[in-house]
């Protein structure tokens, strides 16, 4: 009987590539919902960079704190500037005008969570 592996062995951290976490703020009149913000970021980045660009950015939406309109985005270190530029291209979410602002870039999500709190 052959044993089928349920999970593949995780890649060692040294081979995963370095990442950065971007803390951004969306200055808007009302609190925004995480799902809408995530969808809008994906749409805008796809429009700007395409599938290949987004793949190389290793983009991952970590979370959005609606009450403060602060969000965290994970990306690869090499494409960090590209991601920051992509974020400032956002101009409206759900019909509401927003002014994006990069608050901080960090190597760990923990530091950013402290800032959000």
Partner 1 sequence: MPYLDLVFFDSVPDLKLLAKKLGQDFIVCKAFKNDFELKQLREKLAGTGFKTCHLMQNANMQELQKFRQKADYIAVYGKNVQRNKFACSTDRVDFLLMPCSDSKKPEFDAGLARLAAENNVCIALCFSEMLNAGPRMLEDYFRNYIFTFKVCKKYNVPFTVFSAAKTASEARQAKDFSSMLCMLGIQRETALEKIRGLSGFLEKKGKLDGFEVIEGKEGAGK
Q: Which of 34, 35, 77, 85 binds partner 1 (CB under 8 A)?
A: 85
User: Element (H or E) spanning 75, and its range?
Assistant: strand 70-76
Give the single-character DSSP code of 14: G
Q: Which of 97, 104, 107, 115 binds partner 1 (CB under 8 A)?
A: 97
Q: Which is nearer to partner 1, 27 or 34 (CB)?
A: 27
Subset of 32-61 contacting partner 1 (CB under 8 A): 47-48
Gap between the Cα atoms of 92 and 54, Å rounded: 21
Told to check if 82 binds partner 1 by CB under 8 A, we report: yes
Cα dihedral: 72, 51, 80, 23 (round 10): -10
Per-residue buried b or exposed e for 23-43, using 16+ beta carbons within 10 Å of the residue's own CB: bbbbebeeebeeeebbebbee
Q: Which of 27, 34, 94, 115 binds partner 1 (CB under 8 A)?
A: 27
Q: Which of 58, 74, 101, 113 binds partner 1 (CB under 8 A)?
A: 101
Residue numbers at the binding site for partner 1 (CB under 8 A):
27, 47-48, 81-82, 84-85, 87-89, 91-92, 97-102
């Amino acid at each position: 009987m052959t044993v089928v592996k349920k999970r593949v062995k995780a890649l060692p951290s040294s081979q995963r590539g370095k990442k950065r976490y971007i803390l951004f703020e969306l200055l808007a009149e009302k609190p925004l919902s995480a799902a809408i913000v995530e969808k809008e970021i994906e749409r805008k980045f796809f429009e700007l960079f395409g599938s290949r660009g987004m793949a190389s950015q290793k983009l991952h939406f970590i979370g959005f704190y609606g009450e403060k309109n602060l969000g965290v985005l994970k990306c690869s270190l090499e494409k960090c500037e590209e991601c920051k530029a992509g974020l400032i291209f956002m101009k409206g979410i759900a019909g509401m005008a927003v002014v994006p602002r990069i608050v901080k870039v960090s190597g760990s999500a923990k530091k950013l969570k402290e800032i959000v709190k």
